[in-house]
Amino acid sequence: MSDWVEVGKREEIPVLGSRIVRRKEGDIALFRTEKDEVYALDNKCPHEGGPLSEGIVHGCRITCPLHNWVMELDTGKAVAPDEGQAKTYRVKVENGIISVEL
Protein backbone atom coordinates (compact mmCIF):
# COMPACT_ATOMS: atom_id res chain seq x y z
CA MET A 1 0.00 0.00 0.00
CA SER A 2 1.35 3.41 -0.92
CA ASP A 3 0.67 6.86 0.34
CA TRP A 4 0.78 10.14 -1.56
CA VAL A 5 2.33 12.86 0.58
CA GLU A 6 2.16 16.58 -0.23
CA VAL A 7 5.69 17.99 -0.15
CA GLY A 8 5.33 21.58 -1.33
CA LYS A 9 4.55 23.84 -4.24
CA ARG A 10 6.15 23.61 -7.68
CA GLU A 11 6.99 27.32 -7.55
CA GLU A 12 9.17 26.66 -4.47
CA ILE A 13 11.63 24.79 -6.70
CA PRO A 14 13.55 27.03 -9.10
CA VAL A 15 13.56 26.00 -12.76
CA LEU A 16 16.62 23.74 -13.26
CA GLY A 17 16.89 23.54 -9.49
CA SER A 18 16.11 21.23 -6.61
CA ARG A 19 14.65 21.00 -3.14
CA ILE A 20 15.15 18.41 -0.40
CA VAL A 21 12.39 16.56 1.43
CA ARG A 22 13.88 15.40 4.71
CA ARG A 23 12.71 12.12 6.20
CA LYS A 24 14.15 9.63 8.65
CA GLU A 25 14.39 6.91 5.99
CA GLY A 26 16.61 9.16 3.87
CA ASP A 27 16.24 12.44 2.03
CA ILE A 28 14.43 12.75 -1.27
CA ALA A 29 15.57 15.31 -3.85
CA LEU A 30 12.92 17.02 -5.98
CA PHE A 31 14.04 18.41 -9.32
CA ARG A 32 12.28 20.84 -11.67
CA THR A 33 13.20 20.83 -15.34
CA GLU A 34 13.14 23.62 -17.88
CA LYS A 35 9.89 22.10 -19.19
CA ASP A 36 8.37 22.49 -15.69
CA GLU A 37 8.39 18.74 -14.98
CA VAL A 38 9.07 17.59 -11.42
CA TYR A 39 10.97 14.40 -10.53
CA ALA A 40 11.92 12.79 -7.22
CA LEU A 41 14.97 10.63 -6.49
CA ASP A 42 16.82 9.53 -3.39
CA ASN A 43 19.29 12.29 -2.61
CA LYS A 44 22.21 9.87 -2.97
CA CYS A 45 24.19 9.10 -6.09
CA PRO A 46 24.61 5.31 -6.45
CA HIS A 47 28.32 5.81 -7.08
CA GLU A 48 29.52 7.16 -3.73
CA GLY A 49 26.43 8.69 -2.17
CA GLY A 50 26.96 12.24 -3.42
CA PRO A 51 24.11 14.72 -2.76
CA LEU A 52 22.22 14.77 -6.08
CA SER A 53 20.27 17.83 -4.92
CA GLU A 54 23.51 19.83 -5.22
CA GLY A 55 24.06 18.74 -8.82
CA ILE A 56 23.26 20.41 -12.11
CA VAL A 57 19.89 19.80 -13.80
CA HIS A 58 20.09 19.72 -17.59
CA GLY A 59 17.33 18.46 -19.83
CA CYS A 60 15.84 15.47 -18.01
CA ARG A 61 19.11 14.61 -16.23
CA ILE A 62 21.06 15.50 -13.11
CA THR A 63 24.86 15.54 -12.86
CA CYS A 64 26.22 14.51 -9.46
CA PRO A 65 28.46 17.20 -7.94
CA LEU A 66 31.08 14.74 -6.67
CA HIS A 67 32.26 12.78 -9.71
CA ASN A 68 30.09 14.07 -12.57
CA TRP A 69 27.98 10.94 -12.92
CA VAL A 70 24.87 11.73 -14.98
CA MET A 71 21.53 10.23 -13.93
CA GLU A 72 18.23 10.11 -15.83
CA LEU A 73 15.61 11.91 -13.72
CA ASP A 74 12.73 9.72 -14.89
CA THR A 75 14.39 6.34 -14.23
CA GLY A 76 17.26 7.17 -11.86
CA LYS A 77 19.61 5.17 -14.10
CA ALA A 78 23.19 6.27 -14.65
CA VAL A 79 24.10 7.25 -18.21
CA ALA A 80 26.70 4.99 -19.87
CA PRO A 81 29.52 4.29 -19.40
CA ASP A 82 28.57 4.54 -15.71
CA GLU A 83 26.28 1.94 -14.14
CA GLY A 84 23.92 2.15 -11.21
CA GLN A 85 20.54 3.55 -10.31
CA ALA A 86 19.12 5.96 -7.76
CA LYS A 87 15.69 5.12 -6.38
CA THR A 88 12.91 7.15 -7.98
CA TYR A 89 9.51 8.12 -6.61
CA ARG A 90 6.28 8.78 -8.48
CA VAL A 91 5.33 12.45 -8.50
CA LYS A 92 2.11 14.25 -9.30
CA VAL A 93 1.49 17.97 -9.49
CA GLU A 94 -2.08 19.18 -9.08
CA ASN A 95 -2.90 22.88 -8.96
CA GLY A 96 0.79 23.57 -8.37
CA ILE A 97 1.00 21.24 -5.33
CA ILE A 98 3.61 18.47 -5.50
CA SER A 99 2.84 15.05 -4.03
CA VAL A 100 5.25 12.11 -3.85
CA GLU A 101 4.22 8.49 -3.57
CA LEU A 102 5.99 6.83 -0.64
Instruction: Count CB neighbours of 22 within 10 A.
Output: 8
Find, among 4, 12, 34, 7, the residue nearest to 23 by Cα. Answer: 7
> One digit per residue, pLDDT tens: the chain, 102 residues?
579 999 999 999 999 999 999 999 999 999 999 999 999 999 999 999 999 999 999 999 999 999 999 999 999 999 999 999 999 999 999 999 999 998
> Could you give the domains of the chain?
4-101 (2.102.10.10)
> Can you give the pTM of this predicted structure?
0.94
Query: Could you give the CA distance from residue 93 to residue 5 in angstroms, rounded to a whole number?
Result: 11
